[in-house]
């Protein structure tokens, strides 16, 4: 059994042979690409709300704002080039996302006031192991960098800080806690699993945890993994009923006439294949983070962890307007609304790119 280890403070990646205790690790790392800064100032821009005169879109209200996030900019439109705006029809209001990770900051400005501490599999640990969980939560629900800026986050800590690893027991116990917590806090909810556990077999305990969450009405959205491997081999993505997310990026290619154009492609070094339900940005995406002293910053991140976060945010948008949707219906909507076959190098004949832009908007709109 092999697992990828990604550390917040380094781009070094290690492959380890694991014994009886399964290692669970985050599927992301901080971007260190040449020419890209690790932090950035906020973009000075404006936001607007439009009420449609008539529309077949899910919501009659459309939100649009300037954005520094390449990821948000990409998922609200069908094709390139980008336009430096993020447009969406919902905000995730009233939706809860349970983030299974290594701890989420309650004080980061992108998330402040919308993070509740929930379960921990390691009570003696620090509350936050590193910035990974905060970045994932930011992709889901960051105020300016997240897909669903009004969604609520519950921190489900299943990573042990000293080893930066988790256990199957922590995941299963966390899932059972989530089911009970959901009974106490009813309403639409999502489980985000931005980790991989195994690359050679299915894990029955995780299969059961997925089934139990889905039976409670909670869709489980998982990262495909940061390995150049068929996603069908990766647990928990190979558990039946999960929504499996691959990572995409934008690169350039030279045309026959010598001109250069931007194109979408699978992010290098990430899982591929027919078991991926939808791709979302995961290559140098700007997200909330923490420095060594846990002070809030913004950084560029790589990996399918972040891609899964964006898809969880998209699910939150849908659940705001369809609060009684089943996990299967959530998955089908994400696939139905996706942009088809725009990605290079997916190693499949058919692929989907996450799309959250307003659907079928009326030409006439009134600015509020």
DSSP string, 33-78: -TT--S--PPP---EEEEEESS--SS-SEEEEEE-S-HHHHHHTSS
Q: What is the pTM of this model?
A: 0.87
Domain of 26, in residue numbers: 22-44+92-356
For residue 152, being part of any structural domain is answered with yes
Which one, of 208, 247, 193, 293, lies nearest residue 74 by Cα? 247
The pLDDT of residue 358 is: 75
For residue 10, being part of any structural domain is answered with no
Of the candidates 132, 198, 235, 284, the residue annotated as catalytic is: 132
Of the candidates 305, 307, 312, 351, the residue annotated as catalytic is: 305
Number of domains in the chain: 1
The pLDDT of residue 317 is: 98
> Hey, how many other C-beta atoms are within 10 angstroms of the C-beta on 327?
23
**What pairs with residue 340 in β-bridges?**
352
User: CA–CA separation, 152 vs 20, rounded Å?
Assistant: 35
Residues 6 or more apart whose Cβ sits within 8 Å of residue 230: 271, 272, 273, 275
CATH code, domain with 251:
3.40.50.200
**132-141 and 304-321 helices, crossing angle to 10°:** 40
User: CA–CA separation, 107 vs 112, rounded Å?
Assistant: 5
Give per-residue pLDDT as tens, 273-291. 999 999 999 999 999 999 9
3-state SS record for 73-88: HHHCCCCCCCCCEEEE
Of the candidates 73, 76, 101, 198, the residue annotated as catalytic is: 101
For residue 30, being part of any structural domain is answered with yes
- 89 with 75: CB under 8 angstroms? no
Q: Which residue has the tokens 């931007």?
A: 262
For residue 184, being part of any structural domain is answered with yes
Burial category of 61 from C-beta neighbours within 10 Å (exposed 0-12, middle 13-18, buried 19 and up): middle
Structure tokens at 80: 């390139």
For residue 235, being part of any structural domain is answered with yes
For residue 75, being part of any structural domain is answered with no
For residue 130, being part of any structural domain is answered with yes
- 368 with 50: CB under 8 angstroms? yes
- Phi, psi angles (nearest 5°) of residue 352: -130, 140
How does pLDDT run along the chain (368 residues), one tens digit per residue? 333 323 222 222 222 222 223 444 556 666 643 323 333 333 334 455 443 433 333 556 899 999 999 999 999 999 999 999 999 999 999 999 999 999 999 999 999 999 999 999 999 999 999 999 999 999 999 999 999 999 999 999 999 999 999 999 999 999 999 999 999 999 999 999 999 999 989 999 999 999 999 999 999 999 999 999 999 999 999 999 999 999 999 999 998 899 999 999 999 999 999 999 999 999 999 999 999 999 999 999 999 999 999 999 999 999 999 999 999 999 999 999 999 999 999 999 999 999 999 764 433 333 33
The pLDDT of residue 17 is: 25
132 is catalytic: yes
For residue 59, being part of any structural domain is answered with no
User: CA–CA separation, 216 vs 204, rounded Å?
Assistant: 18
The pLDDT of residue 255 is: 87
User: CA–CA separation, 342 vs 334, rounded Å?
Assistant: 16
């Amino acid at each position: 059994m092999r697992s990828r280890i990604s550390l917040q403070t380094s781009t070094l990646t290690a492959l380890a042979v694991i014994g009886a205790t399964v290692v669970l690790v985050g599927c992301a790392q901080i971007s260190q690409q040449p020419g890209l800064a690790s932090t950035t100032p906020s973009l000075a821009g404006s936001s607007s709300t439009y009420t449609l005169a008539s529309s077949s879109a899910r919501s009659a209200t459309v939100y649009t704002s300037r954005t520094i996030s390449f990821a948000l900019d990409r998922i609200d439109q069908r094709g390139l080039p980008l336009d430096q705006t993020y447009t969406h029809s919902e905000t995730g209001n009233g939706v809860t996302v349970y983030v299974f990770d290594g701890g989420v900051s309650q004080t980061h400005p992108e998330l402040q006031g919308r993070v509740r501490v929930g379960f921990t599999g390691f009570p003696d640990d620090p509350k936050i192991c590193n910035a990974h969980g905060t970045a994932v939560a930011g992709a889901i629900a960051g105020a300016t960098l997240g897909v669903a800026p009004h969604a609520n986050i519950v921190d489900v800590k299943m990573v042990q800080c000293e080893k930066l690893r988790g256990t199957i027991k922590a995941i299963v116990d966390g899932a059972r806690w989530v089911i009970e917590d959901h009974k106490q806090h009813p309403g639409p909810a999502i489980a985000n699993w931005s980790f991989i556990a195994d690359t050679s077999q299915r894990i029955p305990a995780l299969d059961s945890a997925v089934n139990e969450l889905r039976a409670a009405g909670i869709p489980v959205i998982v990262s495909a993994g940061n390995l150049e491997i068929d996603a069908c081999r990766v647990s928990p993505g190979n558990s039946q009923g999960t929504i499996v997310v691959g990572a995409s990026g934008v690169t350039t290619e030279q045309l026959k006439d010598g001109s250069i154009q931007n194109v979408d492609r699978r992010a290098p070094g990430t899982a591929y294949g027919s078991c991926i339900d939808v791709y979302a940005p995961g290559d140098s995406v700007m997200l909330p983070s923490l420095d060594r002293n846990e002070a809030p910053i913004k950084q560029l991140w790589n990996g399918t962890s972040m891609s899964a976060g964006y898809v969880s945010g998209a699910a939150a948008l849908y659940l705001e307007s369809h609060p009684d949707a089943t996990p299967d219906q959530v998955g089908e909507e994400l696939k139905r609304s996706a942009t088809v076959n725009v990605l290079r190098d997916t190693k499949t004949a058919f692929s989907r790119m996450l799309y959250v832009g307003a659907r079928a908007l009326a030409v006439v709109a009134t600015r509020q």
